[in-house]
């Protein structure tokens, strides 16, 4: 709490976005060195998404292989993975150059290995695109490649980022057997899953994915994307489970479709290989 007040005071004085320093913080049960680079990294002061610690602890031992993180942001999931399993192989995609530079510093200061950070967004074509930062913050965790995902806010701005296909990323350096996949890409989940479709069929990883609600009445484009994700799950023989993360302990609910709703806390899901269904359910009992 005192740290939060200190950060607010630095911000009011106009200093927060001008200085670079480091904090010793305990996150996910481990003591870490957390860089604060001109305001970037402040999000680590409160450990985000505590339910993710439980998911990682339960799923990584059951699904060995590469932990693939699509949408690294400032390394929130990276920290959770490395605190729980220091030797876990980790590959992350992140298009925002500010976040990439920050996470490289985070990796270096904490000696995280083995880690591969790919400085691009995983997409259906190689090239570049505009990344929308709705809040205008350099490390905005709600950044999206979809310009029409939300109504523009007062501080919204865009930055140009690199994109890469899965095949191009693998040509640069092969990515091993996928064990756990985490996707948090603010509306672009379908395009990421389409890039991974062959590996979902071949490697049979478990996938943690945020699928945003359609709202009511449903947004036609969101509803169409969600329907295509459902079809992809059928092709890959994956069962969809909604994660009720606000319950203690968290609860998995098998669903046939994402449905029409406006509940943001229903956005997190597991895509479970059909043949591993019983094993996953048993892990959360």
Query: Residue 116 maps to which CATH number?
Result: 3.40.50.150
More confident residue, 249 or 60: 60
Burial of 49 (0-12, 13-18, 19+ CB in 10 A): middle
pLDDT at position 48, please?
67
Question: Do the domain assignments include residue 77?
Answer: yes
Question: Do the domain assignments include residue 21?
Answer: no
Burial of 104 (0-12, 13-18, 19+ CB in 10 A): middle
pLDDT at 166 over 60: yes
Question: Do the domain assignments include residue 110?
Answer: yes
Question: Do the domain assignments include residue 58?
Answer: yes
Distances (CA, A) of 176 to 85, 111, 206: 17, 22, 15
Residue 194 burial (CB count, 10 A): 16
Please check whether residue 20 is in contact with residue 36, taking contact to mean a CB–CB distance below 8 angstroms. Answer: yes
Which range in 174-183, 217-226, 240-249 is most confidently predicted, on average pLDDT? Answer: 174-183
Question: Do the domain assignments include residue 27?
Answer: no
User: What span, in angstroms and rounded, lies between the C-alpha atoms of 232 and 230?
Assistant: 5
Q: Which two tokens stand for residue 111?
A: 């000696």
Reported as a pLDDT band with limits 50, 70 and 90, residue 4 is: low
Q: Rounded mean pLDDT of 238-247? A: 92
User: What span, in angstroms and rounded, lies between the C-alpha atoms of 69 and 252?
Assistant: 21
Question: Do the domain assignments include residue 18?
Answer: no
Question: Do the domain assignments include residue 26?
Answer: no
Question: Do the domain assignments include residue 16?
Answer: no
Reported as a pLDDT band with limits 50, 70 and 90, residue 130 is: very high
Say what percent of the chain tops pLDDT 70.
97
pLDDT at 153 over 60: yes
**Total number of domains constituting the chain:** 1
- Domain of residue 157: give its range: 48-283
């Amino acid at each position: 709490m005192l740290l939060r007040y200190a950060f607010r005071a630095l911000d009011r004085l106009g200093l927060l976005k001008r200085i670079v320093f480091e904090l010793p913080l305990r996150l996910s049960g481990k003591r870490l060195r957390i860089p604060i680079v001109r305001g970037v990294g402040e999000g680590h002061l409160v450990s985000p998404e505590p339910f993710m610690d439980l998911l990682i602890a339960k799923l990584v031992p059951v699904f060995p292989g590469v932990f693939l993180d699509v949408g690294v942001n400032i390394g929130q999931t990276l920290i959770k993975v490395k605190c729980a399993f220091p030797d876990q192989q980790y590959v992350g995609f992140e298009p925002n150059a500010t976040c990439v530079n920050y996470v490289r510093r985070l990796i270096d200061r904490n000696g995280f290995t083995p880690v591969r950070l790919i400085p691009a967004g995983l997409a259906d074509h190689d090239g570049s695109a505009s990344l929308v930062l709705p809040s205008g913050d350099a490390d905005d965790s709600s950044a999206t490649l979809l310009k029409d995902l939300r109504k523009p806010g007062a501080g919204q701005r865009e930055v140009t980022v690199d994109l890469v296909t899965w095949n191009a990323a693998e040509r640069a350096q092969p990515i091993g057997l996928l064990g756990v996949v985490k996707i948090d890409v603010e509306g672009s989940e379908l395009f990421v899953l389409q890039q991974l479709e062959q590996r979902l069929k071949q490697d049979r990883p478990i996938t943690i994915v945020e699928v945003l609600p359609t709202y009511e009445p449903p947004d036609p484009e969101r509803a169409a994307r969600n329907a295509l994700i459902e079809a992809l799950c059928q092709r890959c023989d994956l069962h969809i489970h909604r994660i009720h993360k606000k319950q203690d302990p968290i609860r998995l609910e098998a669903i046939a479709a994402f449905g029409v709703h406006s509940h943001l806390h229903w956005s997190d899901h597991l895509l479970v290989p059909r043949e591993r269904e019983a094993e996953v359910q048993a892990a959360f009992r």
